[in-house]
Amino acid sequence: MSSTQPVWEALTQGLSMDWREWVLPAISPLFFGAMAIEAWLARRRPAPAPRTDPQRPIYERQDTWASLWLGAQYSALEVLWLQVLIWPAMAWVAAQGLPRLEMTPLAFVALYLGVDALYYAFHRASHRIRWFWCAHAVHHASEHMNLSTAMRQSALYALAGHWAFYLPLVWLGFDARWVWLALSLNLAYQFFVHTQMIHRLHPWVEAIFNTPSHHRVHHGRNPGYIDCNYGGTFIVFDRLFGSFVPETEPVDYGLVHPVRSVNPVWLTVHDWVALARDVARPGPWFERLKHIWAPPEWTRASEVAPQGQQARDNPRHASERPV
């Protein structure tokens, strides 16, 4: 036995080395290659998608660097959260749930569909419950739409509890690592819909799948585009639950109330700071705490602004679209 083998065994016991956890990092060179190709094409020909300002560059250096730093923060901390939070929680749920299912091709198809359905639930909750919005707002903070925008993720997603949406699949008997693999493939697919270099695909593709056109709408702050098109791989759940909106006008990207910063740390925490300030303001405890689970645009009844004016509490984020 070599002198390094015990050290390696101790390391692998403390840090999971299961290949299913490392799919996204492993294919990251593909993501960077696609970004380079998109940036090269964007400098040489107009984007096919309709645009509010055709003169505005697809890529802007500081915005892109901010997105990449946010992606690096998210990737590094996700490894930590997996070991100290997510795997222990999923192992506990698995111990309380149904017997472990054998993973077959058909079972994986069922798992992937289940992950996509629960991703829809997570994504919709991330827009309609302020606690989750505090983490998800990072992804919507860019006023540009390109493949680097897909990297713009919050390092605090795990603390917000994004992984809890997938616990039902673990309870049903799916191995947590297979659930994570299905989610990783779902997120990998979503990387490629963050682009203006594709207008529309074949009608049957647009009818079934989440496409660049559908996801551009999701990133829009146009009044008719706010809070819609939550799908991951498929758009069918949006069509079933009334949250689908087609792309009918050029998209104005970003938050209704922009964050004028490219600092990755501030982009990560700015909405959490705003939430803490709202909860800390004087008033009945129920109303103070309601900021946590109410929609992002919720205003305390005692602070409703006169008609036509903005309330100072939690300025309007979303439309009146029903939850």
Q: Where are the domains of the chain?
A: 19-323
Q: What is the pLDDT of residue 46?
A: 85
pLDDT digits (tens, 9 = 90+) for 248-283: 999 999 999 999 899 999 999 999 999 999 999 999
In this predicted structure, the answer to whether residue 304 has a pLDDT above a threshold of 50 is yes
| pTM of the model as a whole | 0.89
Q: Which residues contact 68 (CB under 8 A, 6 or more apart)?
A: 148, 151
Q: For residue 20, is pLDDT > 80?
A: yes
Quick one: pLDDT at residue 303?
77
Q: Give yes or no for residue 172 having a pLDDT over 60.
A: yes
Q: Judge whether 128 and 295 are in contact, CB under 8 Å.
A: yes
**Under DSSP, is residue 234 helix (H, G, I), strand (E, B) or coil?**
strand
Q: In degrees rounded to 5, what are phi and psi of residue 199? A: -80, -80
Cβ pair 70, 268 in contact under 8 A: yes
CB 293, CB 129: distance < 8 Å: yes
Confidence at 12, pLDDT banded by 50, 70, 90: very low
- Look up tokens 């003169």; give the residue: 55
Closest Cα partner for 271 from 163, 126, 150? 126
Q: How confident is the model at residue 306 (pLDDT cuts 50, 70, 90)?
A: low
Tokens of 9: 């065994």
